[in-house]
């Protein structure tokens, strides 16, 4: 019983130490992400604060000068590593850290649209390498499922703009009547310095949001 008690105390101390170290790393990562966001704005706005929602998720209000977005903010979701179990789960599942930009527009969109970006890749054998000869690649066009009998031109414009964009990092894009009118989710590393999307991410979102005013 004494040995069991020592083991339990040691396990509890390990969990407390793990949580403390994880929390410090999260704060350091949050400060780094704030610098990424400020740099990506490139003088067209600035970060005005940070609000923690959970130990792994925080909200960053923005003040933009581009004149398209209002009441804008960024929601950042980091890996949950408060316990060894969470850390191991994220490693096994290879979960990505996410950044979601949300804002209101001048006028609420006249339509509701939710776009997801899926990338599927299949091969006959895991040992087959993509760089070997004999591969044939097929690029499929976007597929849209609509509840409307007639397609609206602003929805088609949004789909075309997203499919032709040089930035394929967007995981989800949505337009809706209620606030926030516009939302775009992408991997957090897409905003890191050195990423190709770092310098034109805001411009791409402005172009996408502009489709809401086509009608």
Task: Write out the DSSP string of 143-157.
Answer: ----SSSS--HHHHH
With respect to residue 202, please indicate whether it lies within any of the assigned structural domains: yes
With respect to residue 103, please indicate whether it lies within any of the assigned structural domains: yes
Tokens linked to 67? 């004149």
Threshold 0.85, pTM exceeds: no
With respect to residue 11, please indicate whether it lies within any of the assigned structural domains: no
pLDDT, mean of residues 42-49: 88
Nearest-angstrom CA–CA distance, 190 and 39: 13
- DSSP state at residue 142: P
Burial class for 62, CB neighbours closer than 10 Å (0-12, 13-18, 19+):
buried
pLDDT band at residue 215 using 50, 70 and 90 as cut-offs: very low
Contact 199, 42 (CB under 8 A): yes
With respect to residue 174, please indicate whether it lies within any of the assigned structural domains: yes
Is the confidence at residue 62, as pLDDT, over 90?
yes
Total domain count, the chain? 1
pLDDT in tens, 84-112: 666 666 667 667 889 999 999 988 887 78
With respect to residue 175, please indicate whether it lies within any of the assigned structural domains: yes
With respect to residue 126, please indicate whether it lies within any of the assigned structural domains: no
Please, which residues bridge with residue 57 across strands?
Answer: 54, 77
Q: Which residues contact 109 (CB under 8 A, 6 or more apart)?
A: 154, 175, 176, 177, 181, 182, 212
Burial class for 91, CB neighbours closer than 10 Å (0-12, 13-18, 19+):
exposed
If you search the block for the tokens 């087959």, which residue do you land on?
128
pLDDT at 24: 82
Q: What range defines the domain where residue 47 resides?
A: 25-118+147-213
Contact 74, 41 (CB under 8 A): no
With respect to residue 19, please indicate whether it lies within any of the assigned structural domains: no
Torsion of CA 46, 48, 49, 50, to 10 degrees: -50
With respect to residue 18, please indicate whether it lies within any of the assigned structural domains: no
């Amino acid at each position: 019983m004494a040995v069991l008690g020592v083991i339990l105390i040691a396990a509890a101390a390990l969990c407390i130490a793990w949580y403390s170290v994880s929390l410090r790393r999260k704060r350091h990562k949050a400060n780094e992400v704030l610098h990424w966001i400020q740099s990506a704005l490139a003088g067209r706005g600035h970060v005005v604060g940070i609000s923690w929602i959970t130990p792994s998720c925080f909200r960053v209000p923005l003040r933009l000068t581009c004149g398209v977005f209002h009441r804008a903010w960024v929601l950042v979701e980091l890996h949950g590593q408060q316990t060894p179990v969470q850390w191991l789960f994220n490693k096994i599942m290879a979960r990505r850290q996410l950044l979601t930009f949300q804002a209101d527009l001048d006028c609420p969109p006249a339509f509701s649209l939710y776009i997801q970006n899926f990338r599927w890749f299949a091969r006959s054998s895991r040992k087959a390498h993509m760089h070997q000869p004999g591969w044939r690649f097929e690029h499929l066009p976007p597929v849209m499922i609509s509840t409307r009998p007639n397609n609206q031109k602003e929805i088609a414009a949004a789909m075309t703009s997203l499919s032709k964009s040089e930035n394929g990092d967007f995981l989800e894009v949505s337009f809706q009547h209620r606030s926030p009118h516009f939302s775009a989710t992408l991997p957090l590393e897409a905003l890191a310095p050195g990423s190709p999307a770092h310098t034109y991410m805001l411009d791409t979102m402005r172009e996408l949001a502009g489709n809401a005013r086509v009608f």
